[in-house]
Structure 1
């Protein structure tokens, strides 16, 4: 039996899978719910198999649906790559690539490279999302991200990866705080105090919450803020202590009433890696960005002195 595939079906199915809902998938695809239901029914009839299981709670993918989703993402990614390759021949055609990175990479390591890249690629849009490293790896593997920047001991098997830079997590506290009597502490020692943290859902907040859970200790947050600058202001004001990357500390340590000590936990020293399914298989503009990022951190500024 011949199987016929349709780009609109691919996009619609991805939207349904990502929202676990026919209704929200229809909204994302700018289709009515009846039209969406009809397209999915015709798709399943054409393939001769069920792709979705429907329930009052939403929809879930069958095994066939999971396979269809994986290849739909790959096909659409290939089409985006084709668009990128043809960009140099078309006037006004815009390109796009999808980049996922954790909090530190987005705030500290990407800005100088992104700024220079966009000056030389004004018609390229970077779809940049903040994610945890494990989630980034899954996105790159399944094709929903072209490039990912991950850190720590996350397993990158099956992907190509290039190390960029290493960073250490540090504890910051007001001058005179008991933790600052040592130059280095374990995270479990810091957990006896209240913290200033980024908002729930930020990659570093989730990371530290998981680290505390692994130690079977509460991660007590007194104040949540939206930026690293706000963290430093709150710590300086005595609202709590915080854990920040050394790159953030080096940029913001001008505050006179804040001190720091290093974290001794093995996970506190993190190497950032750039990952892709295949660097040579990227679109031209995504490959240019990857090359720019790698070149920038192969010739970095002199390293900061250790804490």
Structure 2
């Protein structure tokens, strides 16, 4: 007869596979690496098979481990969903809502709306993760996020969406820059000067590279950085100019030394939207958060 399988140990095993490392999984799940290793050993003992092979290069799944990882993901999602649904049965708005959002929405719009929501619904916990727009959509589709906020995309039929905010792209530069005297700039004007790119591989990066390719197939940005605040420091140091969402420019380039000019192109009029997996009925805490975030 098979021994009892602990759902928490199963969750930890799934985390180890996802992270490819016991230490990284332990950090992610806020547990000591030694305790996590013990949990995995107990799970292997309960199943009577080895699930992982440890080596200096990391971990490898056995055939049994691959099967447990696949089924374990589904079981963990079902258990989390069960907990959220049960928490909503007493008529109160409580429980956990998983919110996944892109960088610009987290910088410019979400903090204040989340604070207001938390004041109205103090019993609701919100687990926030930052991801690129495409990853936000994927997380909603895979039911890894209850609510997603990101740049408007052609979303699959399985998702519902609602307006969140307008966040147009603008050009940020120092006041003394030659383009500073213009009221509106074309992308071609900005490309005549060293450009600072943000978040290589992200939605904004892909958009700008696509537009740059239409104008100059061999264009290469001057500097590539990981965040908008770093981009503003590069601008401040005189290394170039940057195209970024208005929300980010307001947060990081509000000092008088910076000039901010709108882009003339229609594609610069970015819209942020709320996304959620189509469900009926939807957990009340999730629905209330969606209502609170709508524009």
TM-score normalised by the shorter chain: which range applies?
0.7 to 0.9
Instruction: State the alpha-carbon separation in 1 of the partners of residues 207 and 133 from structure 2.
Output: 14
Cα deviation per residue 1:97-118 (whole Å; 9 max; x = unaligned)? 1101111211222123212111
The Cα shift of 1:261 comes to 3.5
2:47 counterpart of 1:72: no
| Other-structure match for 1:300 | none
Task: State the superposition RMSD in angstroms.
Answer: 4.0
Cα deviation per residue 1:49-96 (whole Å; 9 max; x = unaligned)? x9768764423597745642441342133133135315667xxx9732
Instruction: State the alpha-carbon separation in 1 of the partners of residues 193 and 132 from structure 2.
Output: 25
The alignment covers a number of residue pairs equal to 280
Within a 5 Å distance, the mapping from 1:149-164 to structure 2 comes to: 149-153=149-153, 155-164=155-164
Q: 1:217 aligns with which of 210, 219, 228?
A: 219
Instruction: State the alpha-carbon separation in 2 of the partners of residues 126 and 24 from structure 1.
Output: 23
Cα deviation per residue 1:200-254 (whole Å; 9 max; x = unaligned)? 68xxx844444455535322228877638x82x7646644312221344567657
Within a 5 Å distance, the mapping from 1:142-181 to structure 2 comes to: 142-153=142-153, 155-175=155-175, 177-180=177-180, 181=182
| Other-structure match for 2:288 | 288
Q: 1:37 aligns with which of 30, 36, 41?
A: 41
Compared with structure 1, are the counterparts of its residues 117 and 151 closer, same or farther at alpha carbon in structure 2 (3 Å cutoff)? same
The more displaced of 157-166 and 112-121 is 157-166
Flag structure 2 segments of 5+ consecutive residues without an equivalent: none
SS in 1 for 2:270: strand
Instruction: State the alpha-carbon separation in 2 of the partners of residues 61 and 133 from structure 1.
Output: 34
| 8 Å contact kept, 1:53–1:59 | yes
SS in 2 for 1:184: coil
SS in 2 for 1:219: coil
The Cα shift of 1:19 comes to 1.2
2:271 counterpart of 1:260: no
| 8 Å contact kept, 1:212–1:219 | no
| TM-score, normalised by the number of residues in structure 2 | 0.73
The Cα shift of 1:162 comes to 1.9
Instruction: State the alpha-carbon separation in 1 of the partners of residues 226 and 144 from structure 2.
Output: 30
Flag structure 1 segments of 5+ consecutive residues without an equivalent: 298-307
Compared with structure 1, are the counterparts of its residues 279 and 42 closer, same or farther at alpha carbon in structure 2 (3 Å cutoff)? same
| Other-structure match for 1:245 | 245
| 8 Å contact kept, 1:152–1:270 | yes
